[in-house]
Amino acid sequence: MAVRGNIVGIDSPEALEKALRAAYYLADEGLATAAYLALALGKPLLLEGAPGVGKTEAAKAIAAVLCRRLIRLQCYEGIDAAAALYEWNYPRQMLAIRQAGDESIDIYGETFLIERPMLAALRAPDSTVLLIDEIDRADQEFEAFLLEFLSDFQISIPERGTVRASEHPVVVLTSNRTRDLHEALRRRCVYHWIDYPSAEREARIVMMRASSVAESTARAVVAAVGRLRREPLTKAPGIAEAVDWAEAATVLHQRGARWPDAFKRSIGLALKDEEDLRFISPRLDALIAEAAA
């Protein structure tokens, strides 16, 4: 196992947490530890959690801390090797064959190869972070294919041979858990379940992300969002929604709306489902008043 104790001066979870904070990401102890271990052990980091808890943001922040380019591979149903690894530029190859006439020509040269995210990350492992986003959306065939990539960090191109990474690249996978991932995938990764943050930390996140929001507003929004998360809603508001709601309420307030009213009128940024709105509306006034207190 390639243990790297020290990555760009980060030699402990605490150091990583501090660096992430400088990149405007507040990680809790668990996430900082998992991310540090993933970097140090050279294993992929698998982040699971409800939508909107900051999984993708975490990957962006890690890339920023390491001063590396983030390569994002958004998964979707039907994603295949041609979209994730590499593809040949067929029209160009076809033209080259035509133009060559009787001369011999190598149509599998570098000029005909189109790099896709995974190959790009593999070729520059020391300057990129590969984010494989929402892996649960891809189908099981792709997940199985990913297993091989994540354990050996190599890709074989039949026409050219095997491409191997010179060092283990930094890979972050995220999942919303819309389906159970295969055990083997979890086994290969360092795993962290991102939960909703504590009220205290969430308020700090809101203030960090939306600088115009006053502390009292942030606290009130976080308290209200926390209460909403306890209700049986189709889509509970995530951190991003809390930030948006706080910002929207602040804007309305600056335009002259009174406080509870500003919260109420901008509820559409926190709850984005008509049935949820209908379900909560009779108690909305009480809920906001309680949160603001």
Partner 1 sequence: VNDETRLPHAARLFISFVALLRANGFAIAPEQTVAFLAAIELLGPKSLAHIRQAGLATLAPPPERQATYNTLFDIHFLGREELAANGAEDEEIVRLQEEGHGNEEALLADDANESGLTATRAEALTERRFAEGATSQALRRLSREAPARLPRRRGYRRGRARRGPWADLRRTLRETVRNDGELLHLGRLRRRTRLRRILLLIDVSGSMKGQTEENMKLAHALAQATSNIEVFTFGTRLTRVTRALRVKRREQALLAAAHLVSDWDGGTRIGDALRAFLSVPRFAGYARGAAVVVISDGLERGDPSSLRDAIARLARRSWRLSWLTPLATSPSFKPQTEALIAVRDLVDQIVDGGSTGAIVSHLLSIGERKVA
The footprint of partner 1 (CB under 8 A) covers: 1, 3, 5, 12-13, 29-30, 33-34, 36-38, 40-41, 43, 46, 48, 50-51, 76-78, 80, 88, 90-91, 93-94, 97-98, 100, 107, 139-141, 176-178, 180, 183, 186-193, 232-236, 275
Count of Cβ atoms closer than 10 Å to residue 288 Cβ: 23
**Token reading at 83:** 């979209």
7/208 with CB nearer partner 1: 7
Exposure string over 18-51, b if 16+ CB within 10 A, otherwise e? ebbbeeebbbeeebbbbbbebbbebbbbbbbbbe
40/171 with CB nearer partner 1: 40
208/284 with CB nearer partner 1: 284
User: From the CB of 80, what's the least distance to partner 1, in Å?
Assistant: 7
User: From the CB of 1, what's the least distance to partner 1, in Å?
Assistant: 6
User: From the CB of 262, what's the least distance to partner 1, in Å?
Assistant: 28
Count of H helices and E strands in the chain? 13, 9
Terminal C-alpha separation, the chain: 53
10/129 with CB nearer partner 1: 10
User: From the CB of 72, what's the least distance to partner 1, in Å?
Assistant: 19
User: From the CB of 76, what's the least distance to partner 1, in Å?
Assistant: 7
110/183 with CB nearer partner 1: 183
User: From the CB of 40, what's the least distance to partner 1, in Å?
Assistant: 5
Helical spans, DSSP H, in the chain: 13-22, 29-41, 55-66, 81-84, 90-100, 117-123, 140-152, 183-188, 199-209, 215-229, 239-254, 259-265, 274-292
Give the DSSP letter of residue 270: T
In this structure, the chain runs to a length of 293
Spell out the residues 6+ positions from residue 278 whose beta carbon is closer than 8 angstroms to its own. Answer: none
231/261 with CB nearer partner 1: 231
C-alpha 63/C-alpha 236 separation (Å) is: 28
C-alpha torsion 179→183→186→192, nearest 10: 60
185/248 with CB nearer partner 1: 185
Spell out the residues 6+ positions from residue 131 whose beta carbon is closer than 8 angstroms to its own. Answer: 56, 59, 60, 63, 70, 71, 72, 73, 171, 172, 173, 174
5/9 with CB nearer partner 1: 5
User: From the CB of 191, what's the least distance to partner 1, in Å?
Assistant: 4
Look at the alpha carbons of 230, 193, 141, 115 in this order and tell me if their dihedral is positive or negative: positive
Residue with tokens 């209460």: 227
User: From the CB of 248, what's the least distance to partner 1, in Å?
Assistant: 23
